[in-house]
């Protein structure tokens, strides 16, 4: 009732196609959701730098697709939290389908720096993780892996330097139990440098069974 009233005053629009949303829809319209379901990917034994992950799971296998790019823009730069959550639910359903093969003890969202979180007001990976957690009923652990604030301007530096920079930015500040199965959640995986850096921080002293999941990945086939 309250939601319907709010929508009459401030109608919500689909972050994919800009159509006005029905009362039953949140963030994304049902036809864009159908579109999203056509492009998913589940792959096994994937290398990220020196790390091998069990699986990688993407709602969209190719981050260059215009539809997912628009949605990601809405999530990251336009404060569209409901789209992050709704796509998180999609990702959760995909993961649930692959659960016959792999199960998890905890979800770790890729952290953003305190500064970024202040500017944006939220960590979009946390919102995506909440959608996933709601479907696969696995707890989210957000206070173990952190991102440091000392970000040098990544725009100016070369791709190789960017890779090196990002590598010191993540830190595991509490110890994880041995043998725990981790689901690491990002918004978009492009070069893989962020994921590699998180994996290095998580696996500094111990090896874990890790799966990477994101809204969009970098597979072009």
- Closer by beta carbon to Zn ion, 29 or else 193: 29
Whether residue 61 contacts residue 214, with contact meaning beta carbons closer than 8 Å, is answered with no
Contact yes or no for 122/106 (Cβ under 8 A): no
Task: Name, in order, each residue with C-beta under 8 angstroms of 169's C-beta and a sequence gap of 6 or more.
Answer: 113, 147, 148, 150, 151, 197
The single residue listed with the structure tokens 């401030």 is 10
Q: With residue 58 as reference, give the H or E element that holds it.
A: strand 51-60
Q: How far is the CB of 23 from Zn ion (least distance, A)?
A: 15
Smallest gap from Cβ 28 to Zn ion, in A, equals 6
Q: Which of residues 177-206 bind Zn ion (CB under 5 A)?
A: none
Of the pair 13, 122, the CB lying nearest Zn ion is at 13
Shortest distance, CB of residue 82 to Zn ion, whole angstroms?
A: 13
Count of positions on this chain that bind Zn ion (CB under 5 A): 5
What is the Cα gyration radius of the chain? 17
Residue 42 burial by Cβ neighbours in a 10 Å radius (0-12, 13-18, 19+): middle
Please, which residue, 34 or 155, has the CB nearer to Zn ion?
34
- Separation between Cα atoms, residue 176 and residue 29, nearest integer Å: 39
Residue 38 CB, shortest distance to Zn ion, in Å, is 14
Q: Shortest distance, CB of residue 24 to Zn ion, whole angstroms? A: 13
Q: Is 71 in the site for Zn ion (CB under 5 A)?
A: no
- Distant-in-sequence, close-in-space partners of 147: CB < 8 Å, separation ≥ 6: 110, 111, 112, 113, 116, 169, 170, 171
- Cβ nearer to Zn ion, comparing 16 with 109: 16
Write down the least CB distance from residue 72 to Zn ion, Å: 14
Nearer to Zn ion, 91 or 183 (CB): 91
The three-class DSSP label of residue 104 is coil
Q: Which is nearer to Zn ion, 16 or 217 (CB)?
A: 16
Contact stretch for Zn ion (CB under 5 A) within 7-15, 71-79, 104-112, 147-155: 7-15
Residues 12-51, one symbol each (x = binds Zn ion by CB under 5 A, - = not), give --x-xx-----------x--x-------------------
Render the burial of 44-70: b for 16+ CB within 10 Å, e for the rest.
eebebeebebbbbbbbbbbbeeebbeb
**Binding residues for Zn ion (CB under 5 A):** 14, 16-17, 29, 32
């Amino acid at each position: 009732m309250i939601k319907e009233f709010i929508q009459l005053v401030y109608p919500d629009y689909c972050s994919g196609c800009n159509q006005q949303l029905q009362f039953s829809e949140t963030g994304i319209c049902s036809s864009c959701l159908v579109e999203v379901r056509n492009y998913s990917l589940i792959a096994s034994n994937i290398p990220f730098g020196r790390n091998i992950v069990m699986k990688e799971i993407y709602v969209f296998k190719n981050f260059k697709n215009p539809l997912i790019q628009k949605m990601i823009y809405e999530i990251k730069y336009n404060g569209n939290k409901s789209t992050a959550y709704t796509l998180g639910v999609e990702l959760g359903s995909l993961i649930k389908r692959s659960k016959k093969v792999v199960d998890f003890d905890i979800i770790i969202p890729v952290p953003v720096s305190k500064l970024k979180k202040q500017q944006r007001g939220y960590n979009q990976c946390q919102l995506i993780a909440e959608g996933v957690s709601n479907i696969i009923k696995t707890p989210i652990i957000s206070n173990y892996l952190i991102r440091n604030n000392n970000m040098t301007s990544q725009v100016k530096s070369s791709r190789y330097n960017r890779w090196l920079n990002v590598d010191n930015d993540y830190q595991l500040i509490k110890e994880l139990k041995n043998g725990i199965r981790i689901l690491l959640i990002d918004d978009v995986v492009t070069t893989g440098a962020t994921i590699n850096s998180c994996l290095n921080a998580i696996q500094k002293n111990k090896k874990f069974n890790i799966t990477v999941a994101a809204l969009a990945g970098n597979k072009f086939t």
